[in-house]
Amino acid sequence: MTATSLTRPASTGGGRGRRPGRSGARSMGGVGRAKRREAIALVVPSLLPVLLLSVAPLLVGVLLAFTDARLVRRPEYEVVGLENFQRLLDNGFFWDSFRIGMVWAVSVTVLQLLAGMGLALLLNADLRLQGLTRVLALIPWAMPPVVVAIMWRMIYSPNAGPLNAALGGLGLPDDINWLADFSTALPAVVVVGVWVGMPQTTVTLLAGLQQIPGELNEAASVDGANAWRRFTAVTLPSLRPIVTSITSLNFIWNFNSFSLVYVLTEGGPGGKTMLPMLFTYLEAFKNRNIGYAAAMGVVLVVVVVLLLSAYLWSQFRAEKER
């Protein structure tokens, strides 16, 4: 009796001691499930627009690339496999537009970086009316591309444009048709592209410059480094991650440009400014070959992804070597 009475409370107490542990685990599991449900509830509203407006159209475009779809009132199309891509291999006009697009994208991206870097360094200095200067630097970014293109068409006008008037005042030829001449059309469009995109690059680089500790430049000055040496040894290495990011984004945006060049030249003269996106647009909505145009879009996306992957890989590899 005594042994039994002594052991029973121990076993009962042990059972009671284990029960709170199980309930605690259940409560922790319930909290974890509640947090997961809360996270899903927060993510789904932002994820649905991405799926509906970005992922779904992209998948539809990829599927159309393997069909003979045409832009008609009652579309009837069949799956043709790789036929559209085989046609692209023999389409010299498309590859010419791709070459022009690469020249355009690389030129505009590099010049935007150089001009944006110079302007960012200037705005980061202690200047008078610094706030007003920064606002003025953002004006091209705030203007719609179509308005910018119309404004620059007026500037480039061969008859009443201020550019030719200024050249005439300097005794230089003043009858240049900048947007219709084979030798000047693409450079003139590149200038507009740089002017439009430079503020975005400037703001990004300016934000990076303001995050560099002033002590680094002061220490370099004490060591006898001049302005150029401080820029190459302190400023540029500190900005390298930002330069990599903004260069990649600018290249994508510039390569996919459409509205600016379309309003300026519509791809002319003689296809000298026919960018790939413009060529694809005309194939889809002028020639009504939706499936063929979708195949062009797929090729462009793949090529841009490969180029950017190679660029980013080289940048990350260089960072690791340092």
For residues 194 and 200, give the distance between their C-alpha atoms in angstroms, rounded to a whole number. Answer: 10
pLDDT of res. 217: 80
For residues 84 and 171, give the distance between their C-alpha atoms in angstroms, rounded to a whole number. Answer: 53
pTM, two decimal places: 0.80
Q: What's the angle, vertex CA 35, arms to CA 34 and CA 37, rounded to 5?
A: 65
Query: Buried (b) or exposed (e) across 240-276, using 16+ Cβ within 10 A?
Result: eebbbebbbebbebbbebeebbbbbbebebebbbbbb
Over 50: is that where the pLDDT of 11 sits? no
Residue recorded with tokens 């296809």: 271
Over 50: is that where the pLDDT of 5 sits? no
Task: Give pLDDT tens digits for 58-73.
Answer: 898 899 999 999 888 8
Longest Cα pair distance anywhere in the chain, in angstroms? 124
Sign (positive or negative) of CA dihedral 264, 148, 120, 307: negative
Task: Give pLDDT tens digits for 117-153.
Answer: 998 988 888 777 777 777 778 888 888 888 999 999 9
Q: For a pLDDT cut of 70, what percent of the chain falls above it?
A: 89
Task: Give pLDDT tens digits for 198-246.
Answer: 988 999 999 999 888 888 888 888 888 888 888 888 889 889 889 988 9
Q: What is the three-class DSSP state of 67?
A: strand
Number of other residues whose CB lies within 10 A of the CB of residue 283? 21
For residues 278 and 257, give the distance between their C-alpha atoms in angstroms, rounded to a whole number. Answer: 8
| Cβ–Cβ under 8 Å, residues 111 and 196 | no
Residue recorded with tokens 């500190």: 238
159 band by pLDDT with thresholds 50, 70 and 90: confident
Sign (positive or negative) of CA dihedral 247, 249, 250, 251: positive
Sign (positive or negative) of CA dihedral 100, 106, 109, 115: negative
Give alpha helix (H) positions in the chain. 2-50, 56-64, 83-89, 92-124, 130-137, 139-142, 145-155, 162-169, 185-209, 214-222, 227-230, 236-255, 259-264, 276-285, 290-321
Q: Which of 49-53, 111-115, 171-175, 318-322 has the lowest mean pLDDT?
A: 318-322
For residues 300 and 295, give the distance between their C-alpha atoms in angstroms, rounded to a whole number. Answer: 9
